[in-house]
A = this chain, B = another copy of it.
């Protein structure tokens, strides 16, 4: 039975901060928990977006490929079954204007919810981090080596999540969004955008399931610096 009221998360953003980039969950398992989502692959090799059950990976060379769910493992990713209960049209809006629209109308700051924006964009700016080999650097070091992509007059889909401030560290508090254009040749972690004409879909979750890589010895042994990592996430995921 598909539970459309639950957000599934494998790993924590915290574990990426010191460089725990090994894939610890088969992508096929992630897809059992949802047909929509975002994440990354082993080595932090690119930005993943899952649309209609299909997992795409945008790499730092700009390539966009469909991943083989039986071969790829993920260190950190989210998925849910798409079933938005809130829908509205937006024209000519910046990220801040969209946020204001959402929180002016709905009291959602204390819960997790999914965001999907489908339509035309005046401007899209994304990034994809460069895949790393062991010994892995830290998240901050990787974030400094990212490729930037821009598109004007694009058409595509934004997918991602809002996480409440209380969960900063487990996730990145606020919005964490990825993008893929309809031509499937540009996407990544969303840095900036301007909506021309799009439909916005919100899906509020009753619960969030955080799944830990309990079989991964590096994770189990890591000495996390909680305060430091919260600051690192804020800087790397902005």
Question: Which A residues have a C-beta under 8 Å from some C-beta of B?
Answer: 6, 12, 14, 107-108, 110-112, 165-170, 204-212, 214, 217, 219-222, 224, 226
A212 contact from B12, B207, B214, B220, Cβ within 8 A: B207
Q: Are B165 and A224 in contact (CB under 8 A)?
A: yes
Q: Are A222 and B110 in contact (CB under 8 A)?
A: yes
Give Cα A108–Cα B219 distance, bound, in whole angstroms. Answer: 10
Which residue of chain B is the closest to A217 with respect to CB atoms?
Answer: B107
Give Cα A188–Cα B201 distance, bound, in whole angstroms. Answer: 45
> Least Cβ distance of A42 to chain B in Å?
20
Query: Given A209-B208, A210-B210, A214-B204, A166–B110 Cβ distance below 8 Å?
Result: no
A220 contact from B14, B107, B209, B221, Cβ within 8 A: B107
Write out the residue numbers on chain B whose beta carbons fall within 8 Å of the beta carbon of A220: 107-108, 110-111
List 4 other contacts, CB 8 Å, given A108-B220, A170-B170, A208-B209.
A6-B209, A110-B220, A166-B169, A207-B209
Which residue of chain B is the closest to A206 with respect to CB atoms?
Answer: B214
28 A-B residue pairings within 8 Å (CB atoms): A6-B209, A14-B166, A107-B217, A107-B220, A108-B220, A110-B219, A111-B212, A111-B214, A111-B220, A112-B212, A165-B226, A166-B169, A166-B170, A166-B224, A166-B226, A167-B170, A168-B226, A170-B170, A204-B214, A205-B212, A206-B211, A206-B212, A207-B209, A207-B210, A207-B212, A208-B209, A208-B210, A209-B210
Q: Are A166 and B107 in contact (CB under 8 A)?
A: no
> Least Cβ distance of A7 to chain B in Å?
10
Write out the residue numbers on chain B whose beta carbons fall within 8 Å of the beta carbon of A208: 209-210
A-B pairs, 10 with minimum CB distance? A107-B220, A207-B211, A209-B209, A166-B169, A111-B212, A107-B221, A165-B226, A207-B209, A14-B166, A208-B210
Which residue of chain B is the closest to A211 with respect to CB atoms?
Answer: B207
Write out the residue numbers on chain B whose beta carbons fall within 8 Å of the beta carbon of A112: 212
Write out the residue numbers on chain B whose beta carbons fall within 8 Å of the beta carbon of A210: 207-210
